[in-house]
Amino acid sequence: MNKQKIDKIMKKLKKSSIGIAGLGGLGSNAAIALARAGVGKLVLVDFDKVEKSNLNRQYFFINQIGKKKTEAIAENITKINPDIKIELLNSKLKKGEMERPFKKVDLIIEALDNAETKKTFIEEILTKLPEKPIIGASGVAGYGASDRIKTIKSGKLYICYDEKAKSSNEDILTAPKVCLMANWQANIALEILLEENK
């Protein structure tokens, strides 16, 4: 690819901002992928701390156990790219005002774990910020059957979807599948941000 084209893409990404709700398997891995890709600003929201059981799939390290996930991921992003602007919100998203932290970003990634919270969050964003693209994921648990994953698009809503997956209460969460879905979301995000460059 010629340098001019690459410069144009990198410039566009640097000017872009993405909000991520949740920093578990989906959110931590999507954040790292987007940081590596060169997205200029990330708004990251989570209330949890890093636990040992997270390390089989989430982008944290042993020495970060007990740390707030927001601070731990910021630390890891900074090691990759210290120029990214990071806004952290260390609290639970409150029903009725879940859109609040994300009003100014270009697009939102839903990276929550519980199905009910996912549904509530997506519905609130679509209702209150109808112009904002939102990328969700459903069917993260399990392993194998990569070919089942697809993107569902309806208006501004994109869902990275494995319809036949079991819930995480009934199936194991593994790095390959969760990272696949997280990177799938990040890949859709780039596609949306760079649409005009096609």
- List of residues contacting another protein (CB under 8 A): 22, 24-27, 111-116, 118-119, 122-123, 126-127, 136-141, 152, 154-155, 157, 159, 161-163, 165-169, 171, 173, 178
| CA–CA dist 24, 97 (Å, integer) | 21
CB 24 to another protein: min, Å: 5
Pick the closer one to another protein by CB: 81 or 168.
168
Pick the closer one to another protein by CB: 14 or 119.
119
CB 118 to another protein: min, Å: 5
| CA–CA dist 33, 83 (Å, integer) | 15
Closest CA to 12 of 141, 195, 166: 195
Pick the closer one to another protein by CB: 20 or 88.
20
Pick the closer one to another protein by CB: 25 or 101.
25
CB 33 to another protein: min, Å: 15
CB 63 to another protein: min, Å: 24
Pick the closer one to another protein by CB: 18 or 140.
140
CB 111 to another protein: min, Å: 6
